[in-house]
Structure 1
Amino acid sequence: MPDLGVTPLFYAAAIPAVVLLGFSKGGFSGVGLLSLPLLALVMPPIRAAGIILPILLLQDALTVYAYRHSWDARNLKLLLPGSVVGVLLGYLFAAQVSDAMLSLFVGLLAGIFAARRLLSPNPSGGSPSGQNRPFGLLCGALSGFASMVANAGSPPFQIYVLPQRLNPQILAGTSAMVFAATNLMKVAPFAALGQFDPSNLVNSATLMPVAVLSNLAGIYLVRRISAERFYRAIYLILIAVSLKLICDGLLT
């Protein structure tokens, strides 16, 4: 794939990708999964991920500040230890793991989960489920691993957290804390892969204003949507994302 550098085609892909990241970080967890595949249409995926990571870190800072009083500590205690293991395994085995197989697995799992919830009598999930330590650790590890190798950590996180039917702001804040920590864990591996070179950092910097505005827009909107609409929208987004991941896995 040719290196397009900073061209109109680059921005045609990069601006929508960053807007999706902003909405995802603002509380619409899941839509950000589409950002890396979109940017990877015009450049090698590893470089796309290197450009996205500094933007994610900025958006994480804004979102963590916005939701600093709205998050669930018990979920963090279960998910983050697994995420550490997942990021480490993702770095160690990135060369051996097929992105296509990972996309297919995560997409199928997320799609089945979301479809089951949407087809239930109460799409927002019925009675809230409790927290399960082994399953939480497993979902945290899958989320960290998928985030490291494919920037696709949201579905495993959602599979564990959404059935709990947390308040939408608590859900958004918990997601913000988990993925802020996960993205910080990814800095050293991406630096080791040489993805923080001056060219990538300049490209990241040019997209920062779009990142901030879209992040604030996501935070504004998620606080003005009812819980029922919020959960229905999340499951619909999750199905769309899972279909994209399945297609990537089958066609790559």
Structure 2
Amino acid sequence: METEIFVVAAIAVLFAGISKGGFGGSVAFVSSAILAIVMKPSDAVGLMLPLLMLMDVGTLRPFWKQWDSTQAKILILGGLPGLLLGAALFTVIDDDMLRLLLGVISLAFVLWRIWPRTVVSDVTFSSRTGFLAGAVSGFTSFVSHAGGPPAAMYLLPQGLGKTRYHATVTLVFWVINALKFIPYAVLGIFTYQTLLADLFLAPIALLGVWIGVKAHHIIPEQLFFRVTYICLACTGAKLIWDALT
């Protein structure tokens, strides 16, 4: 891996670790989007999966058993058909289509988060809606590691509280990311170069998780997410431009 690409990868992985460790992980997929600018998108998602799995393990311990088991089961079971659909898409998609998909998902997430809307605190969703959110989450997670937003749309109105929400998301994607590993290997998404890079990036991933866990109670969420939205908007626009041109 070239030095410039490795530096970009290190920054992206550190950011993903912070998101995973302290802020629910819903924006950790920005790392894949950033990497897709400097390398093949399929290599980018292949590079990130082992690191995301490592981050999941690092994040589970400080939030152990603080999750909502019922909500986690709903999302995980719903995610299974989404994973299958994502694997099927990967057999026919090319790099430009994947760049376009990553870019659209990035911009759609930013628009969803900044679009003015009325928040009703006592609204909750049914388990059927949870299964649907899980299916969408499984699909977007497989193709771009962007499973967080659909899961967040379902979980946020459930009134879980900051820490319980974060612990539930952590558990859900620990399972979903583990389930993705074998299909990724079968589809040839992993390469020798990405796995070798993972060995060097693993300490950075764990450092990011450690920073995120500490920042969970220190850094205002609004500040963290505002910076993230700017990064996602610029990255998404760049990916769409590259895909179309």
Q: TM-score range by the shorter chain?
A: 0.7 to 0.9
Kept after mapping to 2: 8 A contact 1:26/1:219: yes
Kept after mapping to 2: 8 A contact 1:148/1:186: yes
Q: Which residue of 1 aligns with 2:8?
A: 13
Amino acid at match of 1:243: A
Let me know the Cα RMSD of the aligned residues. Answer: 2.5
Structure 1 residue 214: Cα displacement:
0.8
1:86 aligns to 2:82 (yes or no): yes
Describe the shift of the 1:107–1:210 C-alpha distance in structure 2 as closer, same or farther (beyond 3 A).
closer
Kept after mapping to 2: 8 A contact 1:24/1:30: yes
Kept after mapping to 2: 8 A contact 1:84/1:141: yes
Structure 1 residue 42: Cα displacement:
2.4
Structure 1 residue 248: Cα displacement:
5.5
Q: Choose from 62, 73, 76 the match for 1:66.
A: 62
TM-score by length of 2: 0.85
1:24 aligns to 2:19 (yes or no): yes
1:181 aligns to 2:175 (yes or no): yes
Kept after mapping to 1: 8 A contact 2:33/2:236: no
- Secondary structure of the residue that 1:32 maps to in structure 2? coil
1:145 aligns to 2:135 (yes or no): no
Kept after mapping to 2: 8 A contact 1:110/1:155: yes
Structure 1 residue 107: Cα displacement:
4.6
Structure 1 residue 78: Cα displacement:
1.5
Describe the shift of the 1:39–1:77 C-alpha distance in structure 2 as closer, same or farther (beyond 3 A).
same
Describe the shift of the 1:160–1:194 C-alpha distance in structure 2 as closer, same or farther (beyond 3 A).
same
Amino acid at match of 1:40: A
| Residue segments in structure 1 that go unaligned for 5+ positions in a row | none
- Secondary structure of the residue that 1:38 maps to in structure 2? helix
| Residue segments in structure 2 that go unaligned for 5+ positions in a row | none
* Sequence identity (%): 30
- Provide the rounded CA distance (Å) in 2 between the counterparts of 1:108 and 1:38: 13
Describe the shift of the 1:197–1:31 C-alpha distance in structure 2 as closer, same or farther (beyond 3 A).
same
> Deviation digits for residues 193-220 of structure 1, max 9, x if unmatched?
2244433222100011111111111011
Structure 1 residue 77: Cα displacement:
1.9
- Provide the rounded CA distance (Å) in 1 between the counterparts of 2:194 and 2:8: 15
- Secondary structure of the residue that 1:93 maps to in structure 2? helix
- Provide the rounded CA distance (Å) in 1 between the counterparts of 2:4 and 2:107: 31
Q: Which residue of 1 aligns with 2:216?
A: 222
Kept after mapping to 2: 8 A contact 1:30/1:238: no
Structure 1 residue 64: Cα displacement:
1.2
Amino acid at match of 1:200: T
Describe the shift of the 1:245–1:91 C-alpha distance in structure 2 as closer, same or farther (beyond 3 A).
farther
Amino acid at match of 1:19: L
TM-score by length of 1: 0.83
- Provide the rounded CA distance (Å) in 1 between the counterparts of 2:27 and 2:15: 6
Q: Which residue of 2 aligns with 1:33?
A: 29
Describe the shift of the 1:197–1:109 C-alpha distance in structure 2 as closer, same or farther (beyond 3 A).
closer
Aligned residues: 238
Amino acid at match of 1:48: A
- Provide the rounded CA distance (Å) in 2 between the counterparts of 1:235 and 1:103: 19
Kept after mapping to 1: 8 A contact 2:74/2:134: yes
Q: Which residue of 2 aligns with 1:211?
A: 205
Structure 1 residue 116: Cα displacement:
4.2
Structure 1 residue 143: Cα displacement:
0.9
Describe the shift of the 1:207–1:167 C-alpha distance in structure 2 as closer, same or farther (beyond 3 A).
same
